A and B are shown apart, each in its own frame.
Chain A
Amino acid sequence: MAAIIKVKDINKSYQRDNFVVPVLNNISLDVEEGEFIALMGPSGSGKTTLLNLIAGIDKPDKGSITVADINIAALSESELAKWRSHNVGFVFQFYNLIPVLTAFENVELPLLLTNLSKKERKEHVVAALTLVGLEDRMDHYPKQLSGGQEQRVAIARAIVTDPIIIVADEPTGDLDKKSADDILLLLERLNSEYKKTIIMVTHDPNAASKAHMQRHLDKGDLV
Chain B
Amino acid sequence: MKIPIKYSLRNFKERKLTTGITIVGIAMVVFVFAAVLMMAYGIEKTLVQTGSDENVIILRKSSTGEISSILPPDVQNIVSSLPYIAKTSGNIPIISYEPVVIINLDKVGGGLSNIIVRGVSPESIILRPNVKLIEGRFFNFGARELIVGKSLVGSFQNSKIGEQIKFAGGYWKIVGVFEASGGGFESEFWGDSKQVLDAFNRGNTVSTMTLKLNSADEFPLFKKEFLRDRRLKEFEPKIEKVYFAEQSETMAMFIRILGIVVTVIFSIGATIGAMITMYSAVANRTVEIGTLRSLGFKRRNILAAFLMESLLVSLIGAGIGIVLASALQFFSISTLNYSSFAEISFKFAISPSIIFLSLIFAALMGILGGFLPAVRAARMNIIKALRSI
Contact = CB atoms under 8 A, between A and B. Distances in A.
B296 A82 contact: yes
B7 A57 contact: no
Interface stretch (B178-186, B287-295, B344-352): B287-295
Nearest to B295: A110
B293 A57 contact: yes
Interface residues of A, number: 24
Interface in B57-105: none
B2 interface: yes
B291 A98 contact: yes
B221 interface: no
Interface string B353-389: 0000000000000000000000000000011001001
Interface string B290-328: 111111111000000000000000000000000000000
A196 B97 CA distance: 97
A112 B290 CA distance: 17
Contacts, number: 62
A112 B287 CA distance: 20
Contacts of B288: 96, 98-99
Nearest to B301: A113
Contacts of A78: 298
Interface in B198-218: none
B383 A58 contact: yes
Interface residues of B, number: 24
Q: Is the interface of B mostly helix, strand, loop or mixed?
A: helix
Contacts of A94: 287, 389
A84 B10 contact: no
A138 interface: no
Nearest to A154: B291
Contacts of B291: 90, 92, 96, 98
Interface in A53-100: 55, 57-58, 78, 81-82, 84-86, 90, 92, 94, 96, 98-100
A113 B389 contact: no
Contact of A100 (B7, B290, B296): B7
B114 interface: no
A112 B382 contact: no
A175 interface: no
B237 to A, nearest CB: 67
Given A57-B382, A58-B383, A85 B6 contact: no
Given A52-B383, A113-B2, A81 B298 contact: yes
A90 B294 contact: yes
Nearest to A100: B10
B7 A96 contact: no
Nearest to B287: A96
Given A81-B296, A84-B296, A92-B386, 4 more contacts: A57-B293, A96-B287, A110-B295, A113-B2
